[in-house]
């Protein structure tokens, strides 16, 4: 029985599909390809992949439309492939249900890391109640936060933000998504409000750390750096 994870690549560029096939097969994936959006949807329904790599710039049926239709019946992790540096397009894809994005040209190690993170999020039953990365340890059951073995006291809002980031560790969360999840739909445009709370949270969980745990994705949102996993 083949236990290899299954990846579906939906991209109209033959060279990109070949490149991805080589990289993915070397990493242990079984790979299926589709050159059009319609073919991609059919293959997704038939093959039931573990992860989908989707190009936004597809002819005829756009990547956005493919994502919309896919999300009508599937929660398969979707990583967007795009040559575009258009923030609005990336935000639209993330808000529509994409898990992450990689801008072409991309590095293979980064792509594989993003795929692993997306697949981990798709297996909630395997999540541990304790989240640990570097010197930060968060016990979601006990609602406690420790940095270098010392307890960190967060406000209710700061903890809600941190818990949201942990639930989606490694994933880019758009400003609108974070505001809606923490403060409700009426707060979706209050970005300056969000910046203040993110700054306060960072001061408490990132003092004297060599690297930021909450990374800013300019014009898009924020990403909590996920613990490394191989």
pLDDT tens digits for range 130-151: 888 878 899 888 889 998 889 9
Cis upstream peptide for 105 (omega within 30°): yes
By the 8 A CB rule, do 8 and 32 touch?
Answer: yes
Per the prediction, the chain carries an average pLDDT of 86
Please name the residues in contact with 133: beta carbons below 8 A apart, sequence gap of 6 or more. Answer: 169, 213, 225, 226, 227
- What phi, psi does 180 have (nearest 5°)? -65, -45
By the 8 A CB rule, do 161 and 178 touch?
Answer: yes
Distances (CA, A) of 220 to 27, 67, 224, 230: 30, 19, 14, 28
* Confidence tier at 73 by pLDDT (50, 70, 90): confident
Per-residue confidence (pLDDT) for residue 1, from 0 to 100: 40
By the 8 A CB rule, do 68 and 81 touch?
Answer: no
Q: Pairing mode, if any, of strands 150-151 and 144-147?
A: antiparallel
In the three-class reduction of DSSP (H, G, I as helix; E, B as strand; rest coil), residue 37 is classed as helix
128 vs 31: which has the higher pLDDT: 31
Can you give the length of the chain in residues?
Answer: 230
* Reported pTM: 0.69
Which segment, 9-18, 98-107, 117-126, 136-145, is predicted with the most confidence on average?
Answer: 9-18
Structural domains in the chain, CATH included, are 6-124 (3.40.50.2300), 127-224 (1.10.10.10)
């Amino acid at each position: 029985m083949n236990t290899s994870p299954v990846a579906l690549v939906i991209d109209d560029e033959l060279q990109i599909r070949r490149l991805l096939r080589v990289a993915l097969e070397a990493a242990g994936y079984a790979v299926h390809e589709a050159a059009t959006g319609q073919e991609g949807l059919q293959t997704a329904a038939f093959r039931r992949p573990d992860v989908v790599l989707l190009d936004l710039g597809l002819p005829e049926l756009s990547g956005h439309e493919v994502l919309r239709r896919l999300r009508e019946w599937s929660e398969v992790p979707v990583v967007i492939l795009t040559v575009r540096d258009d923030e609005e397009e990336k935000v639209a894809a993330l808000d529509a249900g994409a898990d992450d994005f990689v801008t072409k040209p991309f590095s293979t190690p980064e792509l594989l890391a993003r795929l692993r993170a997306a697949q981990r999020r798709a297996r909630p039953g395997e999540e541990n109640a304790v989240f640990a990365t570097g010197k930060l340890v968060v016990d979601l059951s006990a609602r406690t936060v420790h940095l270098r073995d010392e307890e960190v006291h967060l406000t209710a809002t700061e903890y809600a933000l941190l818990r949201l980031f942990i639930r989606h560790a490694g994933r880019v969360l758009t400003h609108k998504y974070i505001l809606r999840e923490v403060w409700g739909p009426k707060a979706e445009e209050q970005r300056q409000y969000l910046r203040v709370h993110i700054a306060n949270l960072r001061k408490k969980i990132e003092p004297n750390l060599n690297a930021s745990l909450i990374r800013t994705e300019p014009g898009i949102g924020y990403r909590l750096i996920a613990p490394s996993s191989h």
